[in-house]
């Protein structure tokens, strides 16, 4: 029989549903283990919201620095609530001063004070960074003690990621605490925390990879730094953009508005802000999601230098063949030097995303789209196409039971789009880049780009 929990309610209000009070979302007959699973789930969601809020804070900060009046007002408010939260927490902590009757002296008996416990557990740095987010402040006030414990664990585990995320968005967390003066009995040193602030030059969040040994590195390929670009650039060998919309290349209207004319639509995706580059065992740099995404969300566009050939690189180039054009090869999207986060997507034989060919605005592009709902902190993966692994030069380490590199598997994984990675033209295309078989129709109607908290 499953162990039963102590069902004494810790709810503060019976009228307001509060997801942070676990007893309210979990039936009293559930086991403690199942309840802890729920706590872990909420902790993960809350951590994801902390990243989201840090990003929002930084966006308002950027706009306020550019003299946007509305953003300046919002920033005043955001800074105000952050400072007020810290001051209130200090006040509560100081109130926990008690007289120790046995020894007759005044002491801070603050073990049951959440602020004290938090700073002792995750340190000043994480406390000050996270205090800038509504997600953390709300959980601090309202979360069930089990959920709060799980959240602090998750923050600890992700401390470098959180600090790098805040640092790469120019969050000045030290100002919040560096002027605090003592006495702070039982609490760690603020000066030490401030002195240990990350000293890492960041000009773009995706110019850093979190390494397996708990450090940071720059993304590099064959000794060359890999720069982030937001849009593809026309490379050597082309005088005009080979992906420009024309009657030959775009049999469909713009995916965003349906127009066949030059509509000027662009993909407004914020997903790049909600993913980070992380090393994975046996696979090199990969992409970790920091938010949840819904099935069919368009996450971003695969960008790089548009070239007529792949220049001997068989790792990053993507064939850009518009769907429905009988396999016309427009160009290779080469991202080994210049590209965005999508070039770091590792392959899986059971991927969470797929390549799709779309016409967006006046260009034919390959998008990355979610094939299922994606949870925060999952590795985002994609199917490179069977040819990538068929040369025998590489072995897939995705670990899926039906992996293409597993001799007993009947794999391949499905190849949903005419775009494939590796710069190798599929066997069913002729040498001139024409596909013998008709390209698979890739358009799906009504999908929208959005990142969910």
Ligand X SMILES: C[S@@+](CC[C@H](N)C(=O)[O-])C[C@H]1O[C@@H](n2cnc3c(N)ncnc32)[C@H](O)[C@@H]1O
* Token digits of residue 65: 């620095």
CB 387 within 8 A of CB 314: no
Of the residues 397, 402, 409, 453, which one makes contact with ligand X according to CB under 6 A: 397
Give the nearest distance from C-beta 163 to ligand X in angstroms.
23
Q: Determine the Cα–Cα distance for residues 12 and 26; give it in Å rounded to an integer.
A: 16
Cβ neighbours around 143 below 10 Å, total:
25
**Of 48-56, 249-257, 371-379, 392-400, which part binds ligand X (CB under 6 A)?**
392-400
Q: Which CB, 146 or 424, lies closer to ligand X?
A: 424
| Binding pattern for the stretch 272-291 against ligand X, x by CB under 6 A and - elsewhere | ----------xxxxx-----
Q: Which CB, 31 or 409, lies closer to ligand X?
A: 409
What's the gap between Cα 153 and its chain centre?
19
Q: Which CB, 125 or 347, lies closer to ligand X?
A: 347
**Of 80-88, 194-202, 396-404, 406-414, which part binds ligand X (CB under 6 A)?**
396-404
Positive/negative CA dihedral, 198, 204, 208, 209:
positive
Give the nearest distance from C-beta 223 to ligand X in angstroms.
13
* Helical ranges in 21-158 per DSSP H: 22-25, 32-65, 69-95, 114-130, 134-142, 145-157
| CA neighbor of 452 nearest in space, from 170, 41, 153, 51 | 51
Give the nearest distance from C-beta 333 to ligand X in angstroms.
11
Q: Binding of ligand X at residue 167 (CB under 6 A)?
A: no
User: Please, which of residues 307-326 interact with ligand X by CB under 6 A?
Assistant: 315-316
Q: Which CB, 393 or 445, lies closer to ligand X?
A: 393
Give the nearest distance from C-beta 379 to ligand X in angstroms.
10
Phi/psi zone of residue 417: left (φ > 0), alpha (ψ -120 to 50 degrees), beta? beta
| Binding pattern for the stretch 234-273 against ligand X, x by CB under 6 A and - elsewhere | ----------------------------------------
Residue 224 vs residues 218, 227, 302, 343: alpha-carbon distances, Å: 10, 9, 20, 15
Q: Determine the Cα–Cα distance for residues 317 and 235; give it in Å rounded to an integer.
A: 13
- Pairing between β-strand 284-289 and β-strand 305-307 as defined by DSSP bridges: unpaired
Using CB atoms, what's the residue nearest to ligand X? Answer: 284
The size of the interface with ligand X (CB under 6 A), counted in residues, is 16
| CA neighbor of 239 nearest in space, from 304, 306, 303 | 306
Give the nearest distance from C-beta 318 to ligand X in angstroms.
9
Q: Which CB, 121 or 379, lies closer to ligand X?
A: 379
Give the nearest distance from C-beta 382 to ligand X in angstroms.
9
**Of 40-48, 108-116, 357-365, 389-397, which part binds ligand X (CB under 6 A)?**
389-397
- Pairing between β-strand 227-228 and β-strand 338-339 as defined by DSSP bridges: parallel
Q: Which CB, 250 or 285, lies closer to ligand X?
A: 285
Give the nearest distance from C-beta 159 to ligand X in angstroms.
23
The answer for residues whose C-beta is within 8 angstroms of residue 281's C-beta and 6 or more apart is 212, 397
Give the nearest distance from C-beta 224 to ligand X in angstroms.
12
Rg (CA), the chain: 26
Phi then psi for residue 341, to 5 deg, are: -60, -25
**Of 103-111, 173-181, 393-401, 435-443, which part binds ligand X (CB under 6 A)?**
393-401
Q: Which CB, 46 or 411, lies closer to ligand X?
A: 411
Q: Which CB, 151 or 396, lies closer to ligand X?
A: 396
Which neighbouring-strand residues pair with 227?
A: 338
Residue-wise burial string across 86-97, b where 16 or more C-beta atoms lie within 10 A, e elsewhere: beebeeebeebe
| Binding pattern for the stretch 325-354 against ligand X, x by CB under 6 A and - elsewhere | ------------------xx-xxx------
Q: Which CB, 155 or 310, lies closer to ligand X?
A: 310
Q: Which CB, 114 or 394, lies closer to ligand X?
A: 394
CB 380 within 8 A of CB 347: no
Q: Which CB, 21 or 318, lies closer to ligand X?
A: 318
- Burial (CB count within 10 angstroms: exposed 0-12, middle 13-18, buried 19+), residue 265: middle
Which pairs count as long-range contacts for 76-80, CB under 8 Å and 24+ apart, including other chains? 78/132
Give the nearest distance from C-beta 218 to ligand X in angstroms.
12
Give the nearest distance from C-beta 286 to ligand X in angstroms.
6
Q: Which residues bind ligand X (CB under 6 A)?
A: 282-286, 315-316, 343-344, 346-348, 394, 396-398
């Amino acid at each position: 029989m499953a162990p039963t929990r102590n069902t004494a309610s810790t709810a503060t209000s019976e009228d307001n549903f509060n997801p942070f009070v676990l007893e309210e979302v979990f039936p009293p007959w559930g086991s403690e283990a199942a309840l802890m699973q729920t706590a872990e789930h909420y902790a993960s969601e809350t951590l994801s919201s902390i990243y989201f809020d840090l990003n929002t804070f930084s966006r308002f900060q950027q706009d306020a620095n550019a003299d946007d009046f509305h953003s300046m007002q919002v920033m005043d408010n955001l800074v105000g609530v952050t400072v007020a939260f810290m001051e209130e927490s200090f006040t509560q902590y100081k109130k926990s001063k008690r007289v120790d009757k046995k020894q007759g002296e005044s002491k801070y008996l603050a073990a049951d004070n959440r602020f004290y416990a938090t700073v002792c557990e995750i340190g000043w740095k994480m406390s000050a960074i996270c205090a800038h987010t509504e997600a953390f402040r709300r959980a601090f006030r309202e979360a069930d003690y089990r959920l709060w414990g799980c959240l602090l664990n998750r923050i600890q585990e992700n401390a470098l990621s959180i600090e790098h995320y805040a640092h790469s968005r120019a969050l000045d967390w030290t100002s919040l605490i560096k002027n605090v003066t003592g006495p702070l009995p039982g609490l760690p040193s603020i000066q030490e925390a401030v002195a240990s602030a990350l000293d890492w030059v960041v000009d773009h969040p995706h110019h850093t990879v979190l390494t397996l040994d708990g450090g940071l590195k720059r993304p590099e390929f064959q000794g060359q730094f890999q720069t982030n670009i937001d849009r593809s650039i026309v490379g050597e060998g082309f005088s005009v953009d080979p992906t420009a919309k024309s009657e030959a290349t775009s049999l469909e209207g713009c995916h965003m508005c349906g127009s066949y004319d030059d509509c000027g639509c662009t993909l407004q995706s914020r997903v790049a802000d909600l993913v980070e580059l992380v090393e994975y065992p046996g696979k090199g740099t990969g992409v970790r999601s920091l938010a949840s995404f819904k099935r069919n969300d368009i996450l971003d566009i695969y960008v790089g230098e548009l070239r007529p050939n792949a220049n001997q690189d068989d790792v990053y180039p993507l064939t850009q063949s518009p769907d429905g054009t009988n396999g016309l090869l427009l160009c290779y999207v080469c991202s080994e030097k210049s590209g965005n986060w999508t070039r770091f997507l590792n392959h899986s034989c059971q991927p969470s995303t797929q390549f799709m060919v779309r016409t967006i605005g006046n260009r034919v592009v390959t998008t990355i789209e979610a094939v299922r709902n994606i949870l925060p902190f999952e590795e985002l993966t994609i199917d490179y196409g069977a040819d990538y692994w068929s040369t025998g030069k590489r072995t897939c380490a995705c670990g899926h039971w039906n992996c293409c590199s597993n001799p007993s598997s009947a794999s391949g994984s499905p190849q949903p789009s005419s775009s494939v990675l590796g710069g190798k033209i599929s066997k069913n295309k002729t040498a001139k880049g024409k596909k013998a078989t008709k390209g698979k129709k890739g358009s799906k109607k009504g999908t929208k780009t959005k990142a969910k908290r």
